[in-house]
Amino acid sequence: MFFRHVVPVIKREVLALAGVSIGIAISAAIPVEALCGIPGIGQLAWQSALARDLPLLINISMLVIACVVVANSGADLLSEERRQPA
Amino acid sequence: MKAVRLAATVLAAILVLASIGGSFLSRFDYAVQDREQVNAGPSSKHWLGTDDLGRDRFARLLHGTRVSMLLAPAAAAVSVLLALTVGAAPGFFGGFSERAAKTAIDLFLSIPWLFLLLTVRAMLPLNTSPAVSVTITFLMLGILGWAAPARILLARARSMRQSDFIVMACSIGVSPCRLLGKHVLPNLHPILLVQFWISVPVFVLAEANLSLLGLGVAEPLPSLGSLLRELETVMSFRGDLCRFAALIMLILIVSGMQIAMSEREVS
């Protein structure tokens, strides 16, 4: 019942939320990576901000924004696909 | 539930009073270094001990709370005012301005804000004075945080545009300025208050995030985030005392959310 009736109804909202959460999750990665010493995009951004390395920082931001845009468009695409047959 | 909210309000009020009266509660200045007693434990002289430069932790905690208490509501006010102009007005007038406002809100919501804050903060020169850096940090938070309240205000203003009393007011020839000031704004007022109270803890948390990364409030000015930063270094033996900063932040955030929730119920 849950998968047949509930999931199709809330699918669009859940997908839209998932698309937005990607951006929040990547933002949250900065303090986590910086404090736990995990080498990743977040730590690189932090180091470059501390070193005032603007070109690197702007490139990282562009990369992250590209990820977010792809995630948002993907979520839109999936929810559109779901809606079409109905 | 009512008791919980009352307790939250009382706790928040105590924090506000303690941070305002901080200079009376503690005999020490937040920046004065007592090199004789570095990393000292709690004593009758230093209530919470001293940090690795010998500064009184209690004074720093109070001053850090004051910085957050003063500037987070100010930033929230800025962002709610921005949301009102960018969200509510276009939502009420409709047409092209509404579409433009919607696009701008979606654009700002999709930007990973911490990256943006890091970038803007990294553009500041290294020799910025502490007072300027803290003002700029909170101003940035206020300027970047308007998108979420604006979306809610836009939806509300749009639904109000189609409501009966607005249509009637229009039909008897009320001027747009009077319509906005006398009829729309009082109806948006509860939502504005709720958004304000929701924004305050969010900004406190965001500032703590930035300061934790060393990119928020500059030394020697303390803030809740930079006090938490001391937890990172295992060197300071009395690191556990920094947990007071975490505790105060928790109280601030929970109280802010509770006040926001009670405001929402009243509205």
pLDDT digits (tens, 9 = 90+) for B179-222: 888 888 888 888 888 889 888 888 888 888 888 887 777 777 88
CATH number for B193: 1.10.3720
What is the model's pLDDT at position A65? 84
| Cβ distance of B119 and A69 shorter than 8 Å | no
The predicted-structure confidence for B17-66, as pLDDT tens digits, reads as follows 888 876 677 777 777 777 777 777 777 777 777 777 777 778 888 888 88
Q: Tell me the pLDDT band of A86, cut-offs 50, 70 and 90.
A: very low
Considering chain B, what is the average pLDDT of its residues? 81
pLDDT at B234 over 60: no
Which residue from B122, B213, B232 is facing A30, i.e. has the nearest CB?
Answer: B213
Which residue pairs from A66-71 have beta carbons closer than 8 angstroms and sit at least 24 positions apart in sequence?
A67/A22, A67/A26, A68/A22, A68/A23, A68/A26, A68/B110, A68/B111, A68/B112, A69/B110, A71/A18, A71/A19, A71/A22, A71/A23
Question: Does A32 lie at the interface with B, CB-CB under 8 angstroms?
Answer: no
| Cβ distance of A54 and B123 shorter than 8 Å | yes
Question: Does B128 lie at the interface with A, CB-CB under 8 angstroms?
Answer: no
Question: Does B229 lie at the interface with A, CB-CB under 8 angstroms?
Answer: no
Within a domain: B76: yes
Q: What is the DSSP string of B221-255?
A: S--HHHHHGGGT-TT-TTGGGGHHHHHHHHHHHHH
| Total number of domains constituting chain A | 1
Which residues span the domain enclosing A58? 10-83
Within a domain: B69: yes
Within a domain: B40: no
| Total number of domains constituting chain B | 1
What is the model's pLDDT at position B75? 92
Mutate to test the interface with A, among B103, B106, B109, B114 (most CBs of A within 10 A): B114
Within a domain: B249: no
Which residue from A26, A28, A57 is facing B119, i.e. has the nearest CB?
Answer: A57
Within a domain: A3: no
pLDDT at B235 over 50: yes
What is the model's pLDDT at position B201? 86
Distance CA B101, CA B244 (A): 42
What is the model's pLDDT at position B181? 82
Within a domain: B169: yes
pLDDT at B87 over 50: yes
The predicted-structure confidence for B104-156, as pLDDT tens digits, reads as follows 888 888 777 788 888 887 887 777 777 888 888 888 888 888 888 998 888 88
Distance CA B199, CA B143 (A): 12
What is the model's pLDDT at position B230? 72
What is the model's pLDDT at position B88? 85
Smallest Cα distance from B156 to chain A, Å: 20
Question: Does A25 lie at the interface with B, CB-CB under 8 angstroms?
Answer: no
Interface of B with A in 175-214 (CB under 8 A): 209, 212-214
Give me A48's structure tokens: 């470059």
What is the model's pLDDT at position A6? 84
Within a domain: A66: yes
Within a domain: B83: yes
Within a domain: A5: no
ipTM, two decimals, is: 0.72
Distance CA B152, CA B161 (A): 14
Which residues span the domain enclosing B130? 2-30+45-238+254-266
Mutate to test the interface with B, among A32, A54, A57 (most CBs of B within 10 A): A57
Per cent of chain B over pLDDT 70 is 93
Within a domain: A71: yes
Within a domain: B243: no
Smallest Cα distance from A24 to chain B, Å: 6
Within a domain: B141: yes
| Cβ distance of B209 and A31 shorter than 8 Å | yes
E strand spans, A4-73: none
| Cβ distance of B110 and A52 shorter than 8 Å | no
The predicted-structure confidence for A50-83, as pLDDT tens digits, reads as follows 888 888 988 988 888 888 888 888 888 887 765 5
Give me B114's structure tokens: 């911490």
| Closest alpha carbon to A68 in B117, B104, B111 | B111
Helix B113-123, helix A54-83: angle, nearest 10: 160
Smallest Cα distance from A2 to chain B, Å: 30
Report chain B residues whose CB lies below 8 A from the CB of A54.
119, 122-123
The predicted-structure confidence for B164-173, as pLDDT tens digits, reads as follows 888 888 888 8
Smallest Cα distance from A72 to chain B, Å: 8
**Single pTM value for the model:** 0.81
| Cβ distance of B215 and A23 shorter than 8 Å | no
